[in-house]
Amino acid sequence: MADEQVPEVQAPPRPPQHPTYPWPEKSRLLGTRISRIDGPQKVTGRAKYSYDITRPGMIYGRILRSPHAHARLTSIDASAAEKAPGVKAVLLTIKPGDKVLYPGEEIGVLAAATEQQAADALRLIRVEWEVLPPLATVEQSMRPEAPQVFTPANTRRGTAQEDGDPAAGFKAAAFTVEATYSTQVQTHTSLETHGCVCEWNGDNLTAWVSTQAVHGTRDGFAQGLKIPQANVRVITEYMGGGFGSKFGPDIQGLLCARIAKAAGAPVKMMLDRKEEHLATGNRPSAFARVKAGVAADGKLTAFEAQTWGTGGAGAGSDYPLPYIYVFPNRRRAHTDVYINSGQQRAMRAPGHPQGCFVTEVLMDELADQVRMDPMEFRLKNLPALAPNAMWAKYFPMGAERINWQGRHVTGDPTPGPIKRGLGCSANRWGGAGTGARAHCEISSDGSVVMRCGTQDIGTANRTIMAIVVAETLGLEVPQVTIELGDSNQPFAPGSGGSTTAAAVMPAMRVTAGKARDALFERIAPQLGVTAKEIQIGVGNVIAGGKTISWREACKMLGTIPVSVDGAWERGLSAGGTSGVQFAEVEVDIETGITRVKKIVCVQDCGLIVDLKTAETQCYGGIISGLNYAVFEERILDRNTANMVNPNMEWYHMAGQSDIPEIDVVLVDQPERGVIGIGEPPAVATAAAIANAIRNATGVTLRHIPITPDKLLTELERAGGTN
């Protein structure tokens, strides 16, 4: 039963693999600190993102969107827009009688010579609506008397799970906690908004798209436009963040392609910040009404939860619960609630921050019931140690670095308004990947080019690819050219679920290894040895005791380069990571302002390819967790369901002064192969901060973001400030 709770934790270890090109036992570059190879391009502004692409004759597209959350179109007239200065084409995708279900829903598109002309023309389209009552909150949607907005209903019963005997579990409990927890909707807020430049050449489309999946987006264009995949090329050389929201052309990409065709000119269409907040995805909210039991000895006995949440207009909201800890008897039923807002999309570790927050805050409340130290309490209820379940080892490591033994019990007894506290939490993630292919060329001047249709969304994929190739060929990183971000290159999967490193690094190792072998075969006769007698050195090859420089060896190739294909193979990467985080906070109980002082992160990700950029991944995940804990929230007007903060000044995110000290300990597990690290560090931060705030103030904040108003309200309810 426990293996259903956390399947990957209890999964049997993979049978030993014998890859053709195993990772080196002693590595020269892997696991060292190497700077990203595209750093100079990015810090000079020379890196051209989709947003920066200009094509000859290019014009600008802009989408017409619904201003209403729920409405029926009564009439639409674009004739004035068609005649407006600079306008080249107008397309409407809605007709009278059609309904819209969220603010920002796409209803048309136009293209004009300048952005200003496109915006002006858009305002000339006369649209009349019958405005219908919207559902702006889950509470409104779940009321029995709520208007039925969605078909077949405003809610959908989701996951129902039961394991063990909950009734017996609660009977065995010495204490129970009953409480309701919630997490907010957050939007991805990628700095480069969604969008693309589309250019037609006859029936062939080239699209520069801000995407996490060049091949998936190529296929999406082909399907959406009903043209062969072979007619579409998608290019994403640089990309300004996606966090799970950019896996296809989306509606705006298809509209851009269609309006470019209609206008007979290349069209750039990048969404503005408001459109980005409204219509390009978000993390669903989560609510959980929980009852949990613990025995007098501190062992968890039972868990029962009603959960719900909203992923917007017709999209799901499920998340894993309970998270990580072993509740032997449990029951849980989930309901998706639909409201009139933009649909959710995968967002940085989908579901996990929600499940982690609910479970980890509950764990601290249960620990207090049995008067145990929260970390000791966790250690008592963790699954058994396994390579992908190392929490029992990592908790004491993190505790030492945050000075956990100096922790006071719940509620800082220090007089005065500033209260300090510590909290902890744990995370898990998969991060396995497969399927990437690559092509490698070694030329007679010693050049090495590796081509792979993956993409670097900011994770340093390009850099770690070069590291693996350089390691395999005995070269330095700058000697390797990496070409990626083009659907004309060999297939690689989209970058989601932290799977890219685990998918692409094996393809790099195998393809570079094959290229090396092919090189040896080609030059062996000239060296008077067999290929088996040649080895890679550092910047050279060694043949029968003779050392020949890399350049000299490659020169022997003559005019025909080494040119080989390779692909991902089993045994070089894996899935299943674990980590823990600790937070130290300072709360001013007079103002309600929380300042996070320090985060300690102990995290594994299998074989570390580049320590420098892997640590940066952890910093980034933690900062996103900090935002989730205390800053960011999509706020909808409860009457109109319009977003009231679709910008970056009222949609709050941490600034430089809000960033705590962050102490990252990456645990290397070279024997497991490469595992992704993008998402795991983002999971546990919010829960650790919430628990630290509880430890500081003595009040439990069960709803994030923990803003000053919520904190002051809870302090007031608990009897004022000390």
- What does the binding site for another protein look like in residue numbers (CB under 8 A)? 35-36, 38-49, 51-52, 54, 114-116, 189-193, 238-241, 243, 270, 272-273, 457-460, 593, 595, 612-613, 615-616, 619-624, 647-649, 652-659, 662
Contact in structure between 86 and 114 (CB atoms under 8 Å): yes
The residue among 405 and 657 lying less far from another protein, judged by its C-beta, is 657
The residue among 239 and 572 lying less far from another protein, judged by its C-beta, is 239
CA distance 336 to 247: 23
HEC string for 509-557 = HHHHHHHHHHHHHHHHHHHCCCHHHEEECCCEEEECCEEEEHHHHHHCC
CB of residue 588 vs another protein: minimum separation in angstroms? Answer: 9
CB of residue 656 vs another protein: minimum separation in angstroms? Answer: 4
The residue among 39 and 264 lying less far from another protein, judged by its C-beta, is 39
The residue among 190 and 310 lying less far from another protein, judged by its C-beta, is 190
Alpha helices in 90-193 (DSSP H): 115-123, 138-142, 166-171
In single-letter form, the type of residue at position 350 comes to P
Q: Write the DSSP assignment of 456-509 as a string of letters.
A: -SSS-HHHHHHHHHHHHHT--GGGEEEE-SBTTSSB---S-TT-HHHHHHHHHH
With a CB cutoff of 8 Å and minimum separation 6, the contacts of 85 are 112, 117, 120, 121
Sheet arrangement for strand 329-337: 155-163, 329-337, 300-310, 286-294, 175-183
The residue among 555 and 612 lying less far from another protein, judged by its C-beta, is 612
The residue among 383 and 660 lying less far from another protein, judged by its C-beta, is 660
CA distance 454 to 567: 13
Residue 273: Cβ-neighbour burial (10 angstroms; 0-12, 13-18, 19+): middle
With a CB cutoff of 8 Å and minimum separation 6, the contacts of 717 are 699
Contact in structure between 659 and 22 (CB atoms under 8 Å): no
Contact in structure between 583 and 599 (CB atoms under 8 Å): yes
The residue among 308 and 651 lying less far from another protein, judged by its C-beta, is 651
Tokens of 626: 């900090």
Contact in structure between 321 and 391 (CB atoms under 8 Å): no
CB of residue 662 vs another protein: minimum separation in angstroms? Answer: 6
CB of residue 191 vs another protein: minimum separation in angstroms? Answer: 4
CB of residue 396 vs another protein: minimum separation in angstroms? Answer: 25
The residue among 275 and 486 lying less far from another protein, judged by its C-beta, is 275
The residue among 401 and 595 lying less far from another protein, judged by its C-beta, is 595
Residue burial 348-378, b: 16+ Cβ < 10 Å; e: rest: bbbbbbbbbbbbbbbbbbbbbbbebebbebb
The residue among 110 and 339 lying less far from another protein, judged by its C-beta, is 110
| Longest alpha-carbon distance in the chain | 88
CB of residue 648 vs another protein: minimum separation in angstroms? Answer: 4
The residue among 2 and 654 lying less far from another protein, judged by its C-beta, is 654
The residue among 194 and 702 lying less far from another protein, judged by its C-beta, is 194
CB of residue 461 vs another protein: minimum separation in angstroms? Answer: 11
In single-letter form, the type of residue at position 513 comes to G
The residue among 243 and 287 lying less far from another protein, judged by its C-beta, is 243
CB of residue 51 vs another protein: minimum separation in angstroms? Answer: 7
C-alpha dihedral sign at 485, 491, 497, 500: negative
Rounded to a whole number of angstroms, the CA Rg of the chain reads 28
CB of residue 625 vs another protein: minimum separation in angstroms? Answer: 9
In single-letter form, the type of residue at position 182 comes to S
424 bridge partner residues: 582
With a CB cutoff of 8 Å and minimum separation 6, the contacts of 560 are none
Q: Quickly count: other Cβ atoms within 10 Å of residue 95's Cβ.
A: 10
CB of residue 294 vs another protein: minimum separation in angstroms? Answer: 35
CB of residue 46 vs another protein: minimum separation in angstroms? Answer: 8
CB of residue 184 vs another protein: minimum separation in angstroms? Answer: 17
The residue among 272 and 668 lying less far from another protein, judged by its C-beta, is 272
The residue among 518 and 630 lying less far from another protein, judged by its C-beta, is 630
The residue among 115 and 483 lying less far from another protein, judged by its C-beta, is 115
Q: Quickly count: other Cβ atoms within 10 Å of residue 684's Cβ.
A: 33
In single-letter form, the type of residue at position 683 comes to V
Residue burial 685-718, b: 16+ Cβ < 10 Å; e: rest: bbbbbbbbbbbbbbbbbbbbbbbeebbbebbeee
CB of residue 185 vs another protein: minimum separation in angstroms? Answer: 16
CB of residue 432 vs another protein: minimum separation in angstroms? Answer: 22
CB of residue 59 vs another protein: minimum separation in angstroms? Answer: 11
What is the SS3 assignment for 573?
strand
Contact in structure between 493 and 215 (CB atoms under 8 Å): yes
CA distance 362 to 585: 19
CA distances to 94, 192, 344, 473, 710 from 107, in Å: 5, 23, 19, 53, 39
CB of residue 67 vs another protein: minimum separation in angstroms? Answer: 19
